[in-house]
């Protein structure tokens, strides 16, 4: 992933209620950011036309729908997504669902969701998991790699162990990035420098940029932090 342009390392989350809102943000940031996430809210409002609009401006799209259904439905849904040539999409399911998505993925990269960054240890206990968040993420990382997934969605807190124990072969995309003090529903967060120093390939940032007094300035600061993290990661790898 060393060849990835800096402007594609940051994925801007278009978690917005309308295509018009999304287009305004793409037009505002496209000189700085060339990768955009389309999630449930925007996809329900704009469908594939908003995906194609972004692609037609020369930017990449991460379609984050977190597919979870019977394997055949996941396979068919993934096949539909593959026709649209998005760069990344997500599956949030068991081994059979992940395998079904891999079998139909075509050119799109499949990311397995490990543990949502809005969940902490207490939430996992409430859901019936009797293990640490880190152990759950690592287990899912190993299974995803074995099943042929291209990468993971994972908190930056678990990335160091994933990189140590799973090594190369997985694309790591980190949400829950908070460049400043966290005041929202994300619980397991890191800053951009920490994420890339730990081994992230991409980060996803939405609300901190949208809510910033000067969004473009914050994007520049994030890009600078990404460069620092990548240099730190290179030093770590050189010392191993």
Residue 76 annotated as lining a ligand binding site: no
Q: Say if CB 35 and CB 60 are below 8 A apart.
A: yes
Query: Which residue among 23, 66, 109, 228 is the active-site one?
Result: 66
15 is in an annotated binding site: yes
DSSP string, the chain: -TTS-HHHHEEEE---SSHHHHHHHHHHHTTT--EEEEEHHHHHHHHHHHHHHHHHTT-EEEEEEEE-S-HHHHHHHHHHHHTTT-SEEEE-S-HHHHHHHHHT-TTSEEEEE-S-TT--HHHHHHTT--S-HHHHHHHHHHHHHHHT--EEE--TTTHHHHHHHH-SS-EEEE--B-SS---SS--S-B-HHHHHHHT-SEEEE-HHHHTSSSHHHHHHHHHHHHHHHHHHHHHHHHH-
Q: Which of 69, 103, 123, 135 is catalytic?
A: 69
Residue 64 known to be catalytic: yes
Q: Is 109 annotated among the ligand-binding residues?
A: no
Identify the active-site residue in 21, 31, 60, 64: 64
By three-state DSSP, how is residue 117 classified?
A: coil
| Active site annotation includes 31 | no
- Catalytic annotation present for 66: yes
Question: Is residue 186 marked as binding?
Answer: yes
37 is in an annotated binding site: yes
Which residue, among 137, 159, 141, has the nearest Cα to 150 in the 3D structure? 141
**193 assigned binding-site residue:** no
Active-site residues, by number, are 64, 66, 69
User: Which residues participate in the annotated binding site?
Assistant: 15, 37, 117, 178, 186, 206-207
Which residue ranges are tagged as binding site for substrate? 15, 37, 117, 178, 186, 206-207
């Amino acid at each position: 992933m060393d060849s990835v342009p800096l402007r594609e390392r940051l994925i801007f989350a278009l978690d917005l209620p309308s295509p018009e809102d999304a287009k305004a943000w793409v037009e505002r940031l496209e000189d700085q950011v060339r990768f955009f996430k389309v999630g449930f809210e925007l996809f329900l409002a704009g469908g594939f036309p908003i995906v194609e609009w972004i692609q037609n401006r020369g930017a990449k799209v991460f379609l984050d729908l977190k597919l979870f259904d019977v394997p055949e439905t996941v396979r068919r849904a993934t096949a539909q997504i593959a026709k649209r040539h998005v760069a990344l999409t997500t599956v949030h399911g068991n081994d059979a669902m992940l395998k079904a998505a891999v079998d139909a993925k075509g050119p799109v990269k499949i990311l397995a969701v490990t543990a949502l960054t809005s969940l902490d240890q207490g939430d996992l206990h409430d859901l019936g998991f009797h293990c640490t968040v880190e152990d759950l993420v690592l287990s899912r990382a190993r299974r995803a790699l074995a099943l042929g997934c291209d990468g993971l969605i994972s908190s930056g807190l678990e990335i160091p162990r994933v990189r140590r124990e799973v090594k190369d072969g997985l694309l790591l995309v980190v949400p829950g990035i908070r460049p400043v003090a966290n005041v929202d529903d994300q619980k397991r967060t890191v800053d951009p420098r920490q994420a890339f120093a730990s081994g992230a390939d991409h980060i996803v940032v939405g609300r901190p940029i949208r809510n910033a007094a000067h969004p473009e300035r914050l994007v520049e600061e994030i890009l600078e932090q990404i460069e620092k993290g990548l240099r730190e990661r290179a030093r770590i790898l050189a010392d191993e």
